[in-house]
Amino acid sequence: MDFPALLLVLMLLAVGAYVLGARKAMAAAAAGGGIRSLHSLPSHYGMLTAVAAVLPALCLAVVWQAAQPPVLTALLKASLPAETQALSAGEFSLIINDITNVVAGNFTPGADQTVIAEAAQRYMKLQDTSDLLRTGIVLLLAAVSTALVYARITARLRARNIVEGVLKALLIVCSAFAIFTTIGIVLSVLFEALRFFKIVPPHEFLFGLDWSPQMAIRADQTGSSGAFGAVPVFAGTMLIALIAMIVAIPIGLLSAIYLSEYAGERLRTVAKPLLEILAGIPTVVYGFFAALTVAPLIRDLGLSFNLPVSSESALAAGLVMGIMIIPFVSSLSEDVLHAVPQSLRDGSLALGATKFETVKNVVVPAALPGIVGGVLLAVSRAIGETMIVVMAAGLSANLTANPFQAVTTVTVQIVTLLVGDQEFDSPKTLAAFALGLVLFFFTLFLNFIALRVVQKYREQYE
Amino acid sequence: MNNNAQPPVCCDTPGRSLSERIGRDLPRRYRAEKRFRRLGLTAIVVALSFLVFLFGSIIGSGYSAFRQTYVELAVTFDESAFTSENLAAADFPGLVKQSLRTMFPEVEGRAALKNLYRIVSPSAAYTLQDMVAENPKLIGTTQRIWVLADDDVDMLIKGQISGAGEEANRRLKDDQLAWITTLRDQGRIETRFNTTFFTAGDSREPEQAGIRGAVMGSFYSLLITLLLSFPIGVMAAIYLEEFAPDNILTNVIEVNINNLAAVPSIIFGLLGLAIFINFFGMPRSTPVVGGLVLTLMTLPVIIIASRAALKSVPPSIREAALGIGASKMQTVIHHVLPLALPGMLTGTIIGMARALGDTAPLLMIGMIAFIVDIPSGFTDPATALPVQIFLWADSPERAFTEKTSAAIMILLAFLIAMNATAVFLRKKFEIKW
C-alpha cells in the first residue's frame, strides 16, 4: 500500500473508531443510569477513540516514510559488488543516482550495466518489502491502540479533558512552526556560509573591494579570478535602496499626511485602495516595467542631455522600487498619524496655528518615532527586494555612487549564483549563502528595531 | 488677507501691535498652508499616475497578444507520403513545404525557399499530424487549412515591427515581405483569437508559447500552500490569542512571527533549497517544494490576520459561553472561531494572493527550468505564472514582449479577482459589535 492509500485507510479507521467509541459510551451511559452519568459527551468518547486509532499510527507512518529512502540506500550500498564500492565518492554517487533513476522509470540501463539493473531490481524488491512491512505495522499499531482505549471507556473516563489536551498540544505545535521556520532559515544559511568562510576568510568577504565570483576553470583565464570581496555588492544594494527611499519617503509621507489630515471621506475611499493596489502588484511586474519601460526612458533622457547612462542603471531600478515602496510608507505612516490623539491637534488649532503648522509642529513630531519605524521597515523591504533588481539592475559589481551606472545587489548575486548549476563544494555557490546570511541578519536587525520602535510608540498613546 | 489694505493706525499700544503682527503674518501663513495642501495632493496624484502609467504600458503592449496571425495553406495529403503503417512517421513538414512551394511556384534556390518556409510556424506540421491522426480519411485529399504564422510575420501584421529600413537589419527580408503582401491580398492571412496562449505550455517559438503549464504549476503550488498554511495558521493564531500564557516562550513566538513576516522572500528560497531539496532530497523544480516554501512564507501573514480576527470578537461572547458551562476549548471552537472565520478567510486570501505573485523563492528551488509539458501532478517539474513572466521577459524575441505583458495581465486578473473576493467577504460578513 502506498502512502496516500495508507492515509486514506487510517482516516476510514478513524471514522470507524469514532462510531465504536461513541456507541460504547452510550452503552455505558444506559447501564449507569442515563446520559447524565457520563463525564463527557458521547462524541468526546468517539473522538478519543478516533485519536487513539490515528495519532500513533500516523506518527509512525510519517517517520517510516521519511526514514525509508536513506535506510534503503544504505542497504543497497552494502549489497553492491566490492569493485563498485571501491570507486571514488563521486563515481559512486553517480551509480546510486542511475539506480534511483532506473527505479523511477526515467532511464533504462544499457546491456553493459548489469550491476545497475540488478541493483535496481534489488532496490525495488526492498521497497516492496518495506511498504508491506510498514502497512502491516502501522495498521497493527492502529488496531492495538484503538482496542486499548476502547477497553478503558467507562462512564467516568474524562474523555473531554484528554481530547482537549491533545487538541491543545496540536495548537502549540502549530504555533511553534514560526520558531521552526526561523531555526530552519538560520541553520540553512549558517551551515553553508560557514563552509564558505572556511575557503574565503570572513574579513576578506566583508571588507574586500573586488567581487567576481566566477571561478577560473583554466589558470590563464581572465576576468574570473574568484574574488569574493562583497563591498561593491553591499554598496550597490545601498545605492538602489537609497534612490528608492528618496522617491518613496516624500511621496508616501505627504500622501499619508494629506489623506489623514486633509482629505475628505470621498477622496480617501478612492485613493486608499488605489494606493494599496500598488502594494499588491507582484514585483516581477515591476521588474518588467523597469527593464522595458523605465530603463530605456531614462537612458534616452540621459542621451538627450549628453549623459552616459547605462541601460541597467541603478536609477531605473531604484525609481521603480521606490514606486513599489510608496504604499508601505504611506499606509504605515497613516496608521501612525491616526494614533496621535485628537486632543493634541485641537490644542494646537485652538492656539491659532494653521493646519499646516499643526501638522509640522505637533502631529509629525509626535508621530516621528512611528514614522521612523515605518521607514525602517520600508528600507528592509527595499534591501530584500529581488525581482526588480534581478530584471533591471546589472550583474557587474561596480563600486560607484553614480546612479547612472550599473550596480549589482545582494539579491541579484544570490539569484545569479544559485540559478543554474549548483556545486555545493565550490565557493561560488556557497557565496550565495554567505550573502543570504548577511541579508537575513541585516533585515532582521532592521525589522526588530522598527517593530520595537513602532510598538513603543503605540503604547505611548494607548 | 485684506489686512494689507488697512494702513496701520497706531503702533503704540502693545495689544494692537501683536494683532498687527499676527495680521501681517497671516497671508504668509495661509500661503504656506495652501502650498502644503497642494504638495500633499500632488504626492497622491504622482503616486496614482505611476499606477496608471504602469497599467497603461502593460495593457498597451500586451493586448495584441490575445490575437494571433494565421496563414491559410492548401495542403495536399498525398498518398505517397503515407506509406508507413505509422501515420505519425509521415513527413508532415514536407507537406507544409510542398504546399508553400505550390503557392509560390516562382521561388527557386535554397536560400529563397528557406525564407519562404519561414513564413509559417514549425507547429504547422503538428497541426497537420493531429488532423490526420483524428481523421485518416483526409489522406489523398487537398484541404485548405489555417496554420499558425511565424512570430515575425505575426509581429509585422500587428504592426509591431515595420518592413522599412535596411534589409540586413530586419528579421523579415524583402522577398518575405512581398509574399506576405500577396497572401494578405488573397485573404490568406488573418488574425484570430489566440487560443494557443491559453492551452499550450512554454515554447521556444513565441507563436506556440502558452501559459497553461505555468498556470497549472501555480495552481498545484498554491493548493499545497492553502492546504497547509490555512489550518496551521488558524491553529497557531487560536493558541496565541486564546490559550497562550504570558511567558517568555509566547513572547519569543510572537516576535518571531512578526519578524518572519518581514523577512525577504528570497531567504525562504534559500531555506527551501538547503532544507527541502538538499537535506530531505525532495525533487527540484516541483510544485511540492514550491508549495512548501510558499507555505512558510504565507504562514506569518495568515497568523497575524487570524489573530486580528480573533481579537475583534468581543469578550462577552466568550464570557457567555463560559457562563453556561462550556469548556475553554468548546467556547473557542463553537463560538469564537465561527465569528472570526470570515476575517481569517480574508487574511488567507490576501496571503495567497501574495504567494501567487511571489517569484524570488521559486527561482531558488529551480522552478525556473524550461518546461514544455503541462504538469499533471505535485511532483512533475513545473514553473509558476510569475516565473514564466520572468523567463519570457528575458527572451530576446520581440514577440515574447507582448506575451509577457499578456501573461502579466492574466496574473493581475487573478490577483484582482482574489482581492475582490476578500473585500467582498469582508463587506458581507463584517460584524460591527
Give yes or no for A8 touching B (CB within 8 A).
Answer: no
Within a 13 Å sphere around the CA of A259, how many CA atoms are in the beta-carbon half? 30
Q: Exposed, middle or buried by CB within 10 Å (0-12, 13-18, 19+), for A350?
A: exposed
How many CB atoms are closer than 10 A to CB A254? 22
Q: Which residue of B has its CA nearest to A329?
A: B47
Q: Best-predicted range by mean pLDDT among A71-75, A153-157, A242-246, A306-310?
A: A242-246
- How distant is the Cα of B268 from the closest Cα of chain A, in angstroms? 7
Q: How far apart are CA A373 and CA A460, in angstroms?
A: 14
Q: Of B263, B380, B387, B395, which to mutate for an interface test with A (greatest number of A Cβ within 10 Å)?
A: B263
Kindly determine whether residue A175 and residue B253, on different chains, have CB atoms separated by under 8 Å.
yes
Q: How far apart are CA A285 and CA A147, in angstroms?
A: 58
Residue B159, helix vs strand vs coil: coil
Confidence of residue A215 (pLDDT cuts 50, 70, 90): low
Query: For all residues of chain A together, what is the average pLDDT?
Result: 87
Is residue A67 within 8 A of residue A59, CB to CB? The reply is: no
How many CB atoms are closer than 10 A to CB A54? 20
pLDDT digits (tens, 9 = 90+) for B58-101: 999 889 999 999 998 888 888 887 777 777 777 888 888 888 88
DSSP secondary structure letters along A170-220: HHHHHHTHHHHHHHHHHHHHHHHHHHHHHHS-HHHHHH-S-EEEEEPSSTT
- How distant is the Cα of A219 from the closest Cα of chain B, in angstroms? 30
pLDDT top residue among A263 and B162: A263
Q: What letter represents residue B373's amino acid?
A: D
Q: Whole domain around residue A349: which residue ranges?
A: 225-461
Q: Of the candidates A172, A252, A357, which has its C-beta nearest B239's C-beta? A: A172
Kindly determine whether residue B364 and residue A285, on different chains, have CB atoms separated by under 8 Å.
no
**pLDDT of B174:** 85
pLDDT digits (tens, 9 = 90+) for A80-103: 777 777 777 777 777 777 777 777
Q: How far apart are CA B395 and CA B398, in angstroms?
A: 8
Chain B hits for A354, CB-CB cut-off 8 Å, are 29-30, 32-33
pLDDT digits (tens, 9 = 90+) for A267-297: 988 888 888 888 889 999 999 999 988 999 9
**pLDDT of A217:** 54
Q: Where residue A267 sits, what CATH number does that domain have? A: 1.10.3720.10
Is residue B257 within 8 A of residue A181, CB to CB? The reply is: no
Kindly state the average pLDDT of the residues B236-248: 92
Judged by CB atoms within 8 Å, which residues 360-389 of A form the interface with B?
360, 377, 380-381, 383-387
Is residue A158 within 8 A of residue A43, CB to CB? The reply is: no
**pLDDT of B281:** 78
**Longest CA pairwise span in chain A (Å):** 98
Query: For all residues of chain B together, what is the average pLDDT?
Result: 88
**A115 and A259 both lie in a single domain:** no
Residue whose cell numbers read 510572537 = B254
Is residue B30 within 8 A of residue B1, CB to CB? The reply is: yes
| Beta-carbon contacts of residue B384 (< 8 Å; ≥ 6 apart) | B214, B217, B218, B221, B290, B359, B362, B367
H or E element that contains B80: none
Nearest one of A112, A114, A73 to A96, comparing CA atoms: A73
Q: Of the candidates A258, A285, A323, which has its C-beta nearest B50's C-beta? A: A323
**pLDDT of B398:** 83
**A294 and A439 both lie in a single domain:** yes
For chain B, percent of residues with pLDDT exceeding 90: 45
Question: Cα B377 to chain center, whole Å?
Answer: 21
User: Is residue A211 included in any domain, yes or no?
Assistant: no
User: Is residue A217 included in any domain, yes or no?
Assistant: no
Dihedral angle over CA of B32, B36, B42, B47, nearest 10? 160
Chain B hits for A355, CB-CB cut-off 8 Å, are 33
Kindly determine whether residue B266 and residue A414, on different chains, have CB atoms separated by under 8 Å.
yes
C-alpha cell at B147: 496554420
**A234 and A343 both lie in a single domain:** yes
pLDDT of A219 strictly over 60:
no
Q: How far apart are CA B322 and CA B309, in angstroms?
A: 20
Torsion B352-B354-B355-B357 (CA) sign: positive
Burial letters for B313-326: b for 16+ Cβ neighbours within 10 Å, e otherwise? beeeebeebeeeeb
Kindly determine whether residue B273 and residue A172, on different chains, have CB atoms separated by under 8 Å.
no
**pLDDT of B16:** 66
Q: Of B1, B21, B36, which to mutate for an interface test with A (greatest number of A Cβ within 10 Å)?
A: B36
Chain B hits for A352, CB-CB cut-off 8 Å, are 22
Give yes or no for A158 touching B (CB within 8 A).
Answer: no
Residue whose cell numbers read 447524565 = A36
Kindly determine whether residue B359 and residue A448, on different chains, have CB atoms separated by under 8 Å.
no
pLDDT of B13 strictly over 60:
no
**A260 and A406 both lie in a single domain:** yes
pLDDT digits (tens, 9 = 90+) for A251-260: 999 999 999 9
Kindly determine whether residue A168 and residue B37, on different chains, have CB atoms separated by under 8 Å.
no
Q: Of A288, A413, A453, which to mutate for an interface test with B (greatest number of B Cβ within 10 Å)?
A: A288
For chain A, percent of residues with pLDDT exceeding 90: 46
Chain B hits for A177, CB-CB cut-off 8 Å, are 232, 236, 299
C-alpha cell at A458: 503605540
C-alpha cell at B403: 506575451
- Of A133, A155, A175, the one marking the end of a domain is A175
Q: Does the interface ipTM go beyond 0.85? A: yes
CATH 1.10.3720.10 fits B212-429, yes or no: yes
User: Is residue A314 included in any domain, yes or no?
Assistant: yes
**pLDDT of A218:** 53
Chain B hits for A281, CB-CB cut-off 8 Å, are 54, 357, 412, 415
- How distant is the Cα of B60 from the closest Cα of chain A, in angstroms? 12
Residue A234, helix vs strand vs coil: helix
Q: Of the candidates B237, B256, B262, which has its C-beta nearest A380's C-beta? A: B262
- How distant is the Cα of B91 from the closest Cα of chain A, in angstroms? 29
Give the full edge-to-edge strand order of the sheet including B67-76.
B142-148, B67-76, B189-193
Judged by CB atoms within 8 Å, which residues 400-419 of A form the interface with B?
411, 414-415, 418-419
| Beta-carbon contacts of residue B131 (< 8 Å; ≥ 6 apart) | B138, B143, B145
Confidence of residue B272 (pLDDT cuts 50, 70, 90): very high
**A45 and A142 both lie in a single domain:** yes
Kindly determine whether residue A291 and residue B36, on different chains, have CB atoms separated by under 8 Å.
no
Kindly determine whether residue B404 and residue A288, on different chains, have CB atoms separated by under 8 Å.
yes
C-alpha cell at A336: 501612525
How many CB atoms are closer than 10 A to CB A253? 23
Task: Report, in angstroms and rounded to the nearest whole number, the Rg of chain B calculated over CA atoms.
Answer: 32
- How distant is the Cα of A373 from the closest Cα of chain B, in angstroms? 13
Query: In chain A, how many domains are there?
Result: 2
Q: Could you give phi then psi for residue B73, rounded to 5 degrees?
A: -115, 150
Give yes or no for A45 touching B (CB within 8 A).
Answer: no
Q: How far apart are CA A275 and CA A271, in angstroms?
A: 6
| Beta-carbon contacts of residue B23 (< 8 Å; ≥ 6 apart) | B3
Within a 13 Å sphere around the CA of A31, how many CA atoms are in the beta-carbon half? 10
Kindly determine whether residue B264 and residue A326, on different chains, have CB atoms separated by under 8 Å.
no
Torsion B378-B381-B385-B387 (CA) sign: positive
pLDDT of B11 strictly over 60:
no
pLDDT of B15 strictly over 70:
no
Give yes or no for A451 touching B (CB within 8 A).
Answer: yes
pLDDT digits (tens, 9 = 90+) for A432-449: 999 999 999 999 999 989
- How distant is the Cα of A461 from the closest Cα of chain B, in angstroms? 20
Q: Could you give phi then psi for residue A226, rounded to 5 degrees?
A: 70, 45
Q: Could you give phi then psi for residue A234, rounded to 5 degrees?
A: -60, -40
Kindly determine whether residue B278 and residue A424, on different chains, have CB atoms separated by under 8 Å.
yes
Chain B hits for A271, CB-CB cut-off 8 Å, are 44, 48
Judged by CB atoms within 8 Å, which residues 221-250 of A form the interface with B?
250
Give yes or no for A437 touching B (CB within 8 A).
Answer: no
Confidence of residue B345 (pLDDT cuts 50, 70, 90): very high
Q: How far apart are the first and last CA of chain A?
A: 59
**pLDDT of A194:** 92
Nearest one of A251, A270, A273, A253 to A261, comparing CA atoms: A253
**pLDDT of B2:** 47
pLDDT of A261 strictly over 80:
yes
Chain A hits for B265, CB-CB cut-off 8 Å, are 384, 386
Kindly state the average pLDDT of the residues B184-200: 90
Confidence of residue B1 (pLDDT cuts 50, 70, 90): very low
How many CB atoms are closer than 10 A to CB B111? 10
Length of chain A, please?
462
Is residue A206 within 8 A of residue A230, CB to CB? The reply is: yes
